[in-house]
Chains A and B, each alone.
Chain A
Amino acid sequence: MIASAPSPAAPPRRPGKNRRQRRVTNAIATSAIVAAGIGVIVPLLAILLFLLVKGLPALNLDLFVKNPGPTGVAGGGIKSSIVGTFVLLGLALLMGLPAAIATGIFLAEYGRNRFGFVVRFVVDVLAGVPSITIGIFVYTAIVLRMGKFSAFAGGVGLALIMLPIVSRVTEEMLLLVPQITREAAYALGVPKWRTIISVVLPAASGGIMTGVVLAAARVAGEAAPLLFTALGNNFYSTSVFRPIDALPLRVFTYATGPFAYQHEQAWAGSLVLVAMVLLLSIGGRLALSRRAR
């Protein structure tokens, strides 16, 4: 039996007079929430819309085959910027990928301990460093020491941005490979290093590639670390040790320029850039979801 004192008199029943008010509050809150839900995609649609409306008309063949003319003279193109973006991307991948994948391997295979925890933490810290700060770092560490701006410095900056992303993705993908796969190799007498290279890494390669593609998409759009490393260039150049232009840099320069042709080309360039980035991003995510199934 429950030990209970005699119950006091029951409080009166409330007839629920405030139900109407509660219903009204509910309706208002619901509307606000639905508005937020719809409102959230409005900016995306607006940006894409204007990109198309303003960028498409300015899109022509000249854009892709000509370099910028002298400042103030219309009719040039942004070939140097597009090529420059690819060069920088290539440099960034060349310098950043090996380091990132090696770090990812370390974290997954040799880093399940306190030291690994520290490294993982530091990698996450690196991910949080603003890209402009990365730019300053590369400026003081490389540009000043080399005495000049260069595509190489720009590539280093982009590689530093790519590094934490690809490292963590590599780690995650390697961890997804079932332990049984490794043990099967060990049981056959394959040493650990060989197992990683020949068995585990290939198994995770699809996911890692996707991660690299997504990181490349991110990095292709970055201009902050390039402002005072690659610097930008009005002339066509693919030389690694000279300043080089990039698409986001050119858009940035043209956006603040005084000439109409610059604005038009900024829109066109943005369209090309966004198309590139979205293709890479969507492609990457599609590949990822297919993999997840």
Chain B
Amino acid sequence: MNAPQPRAPASQTGAEIPEAMIVAEGLTARYGAKIAIADVNLRVATHKVTAIIGPSGCGKSTLLRCLNRMHEVVRDARVEGRVLLDGEDIYGRDIDASEIRQRVGMVFQRPNPFPTLSIKGNVAAGAKLIGHRGSELEALIEWALRKAGLWQEVRDKLNTPAIALSGGQQQRLCIARCIAVRPEVLLMDEPCSALDPIATLVIEDLMRELAREYTIVIVTHNMQQAARASDFTAFMLAGEDRQGRLVEFADSNAIFTRPSDERTEAYVTGRFG
């Protein structure tokens, strides 16, 4: 199948990850001169949900954005280290960034449907780029909307403006849009933080369903959500030098009930953050 997975270094406590879709090695990301995250080593298990938690400013979003090469979209942003997707370094010399982004999809904190397109147009936006057309495209759109749990609600108004939907619906639309390009991994950057509690639960359920087919990495500041919905959890913290580091990484059960690092314990018990 793929190249043999490197074993996680001894400094990673706990998790024995059998199969890792994404492996970050020595990942350091900068904005200009400022280092946002330093020397992160992470294994993201295939077909599982991995959560990244930590207080504000610890670099969780930056780490996430490095996994699909969105970090470099910002001016003066740079990355060092390797990120292996299915064994291949996505920062390799001849790698096409846009191809990586199609394989590793992303859902953002605030739903961002395209306002000039309809619901159907939004879902089709990415799919059309990779060549889907005609009735095949129609079937794909329906499939993606069903997978995102939105089909029943919008099937009669596919041609209406996407921004007329509620916040929760828009986020599910964005998920459908993502899925329609058939990625292997889904990155979710605090996908529920702009939504009400009910919409949040809907998305969490959706995530668990999606995990059966996709590998999911979710950044969240909501610890209950991480505990509920994820299989593995990574805890990040920015040191005094303001550089974000991975403090502890283990299966979620372990992180939340018997964390090894005292900083992790302080965070999950709510003593700070």
Chain A interface residues (CB < 8 Å from chain B): 1-5, 7-8, 10-11, 13-14, 16-19, 22-23
List of B residues within 8 angstroms of A16 by Cβ? 99, 102, 130-131
A5 to B150, CA, bound (A): 11
A5 to B152, CA, bound (A): 9
For chain B, the count of residues having a C-beta within 8 Å of the partner chain is: 24
Whether A18 touches B130, Cβ cut-off 8 Å, given contacts A5-B146, A11-B136, is yes
Interface string of B90-115 (1 = CB under 8 A from A): 00000010110010000000000000
Chain B interface residues (CB < 8 Å from chain A): 96, 98-99, 102, 129-132, 136, 139-140, 142-143, 146-147, 149, 151-152, 182, 202, 205-206, 209, 213
What are 19 A-B residue pairs whose CB atoms fall within 8 Å in the complex? A2-B149, A2-B205, A3-B152, A5-B152, A7-B147, A8-B139, A8-B142, A10-B213, A11-B143, A11-B182, A14-B131, A14-B132, A14-B182, A16-B102, A16-B131, A19-B99, A22-B98, A22-B129, A23-B96
List of B residues within 8 angstroms of A3 by Cβ? 149, 152
Q: Least Cβ distance of A226 to chain B in Å?
A: 47
List of A residues within 8 angstroms of B131 by Cβ? 14, 16-18
List of A residues within 8 angstroms of B152 by Cβ? 3-5
Which DSSP category, helix, strand, loop or mixed, fits chain B's interface? helix
Tally of A-B residue pairs with Cβ under 8 A? 47
Contact across chains for A7 and B96 when beta carbons are under 8 A apart: no
Quick one: which of B98, B151, B213 contacts A5, CB cutoff 8 A?
Answer: B151
Quick one: which of A1, A7, A11 contacts B140, CB cutoff 8 A?
Answer: A11
A209 to B48, CA, bound (A): 67
Q: Least Cβ distance of A18 to chain B in Å?
A: 5
Scoring A4, A5, A11 by chain B CB atoms within 10 A of each residue's CB, the highest score goes to A11
List of B residues within 8 angstroms of A10 by Cβ? 143, 213
A22 to B102, CA, bound (A): 13
List of A residues within 8 angstroms of B130 by Cβ? 14, 16, 18
A153 to B146, CA, bound (A): 75
Contact across chains for A8 and B132 when beta carbons are under 8 A apart: no
Query: 4 extra interchain contacts, Cβ-Cβ under 8 A, other than A3-B149, A16-B102, A22-B98?
Result: A7-B147, A8-B143, A8-B146, A19-B96
List of B residues within 8 angstroms of A22 by Cβ? 98, 129
Nearest-CB residue, chain A, relative to B140 = A11
List of B residues within 8 angstroms of A17 by Cβ? 131
A278 to B111, CA, bound (A): 48
List of B residues within 8 angstroms of A1 by Cβ? 205
Q: Least Cβ distance of A41 to chain B in Å?
A: 23
Nearest-CB residue, chain A, relative to B203 = A2
A17 to B99, CA, bound (A): 11
List of B residues within 8 angstroms of A8 by Cβ? 139, 142-143, 146
Quick one: which of A13, A19, A23 contacts B182, CB cutoff 8 A?
Answer: A13
Contact across chains for A4 and B132 when beta carbons are under 8 A apart: no
A11 to B140, CA, bound (A): 6
Q: Least Cβ distance of B169 to chain A in Å?
A: 12
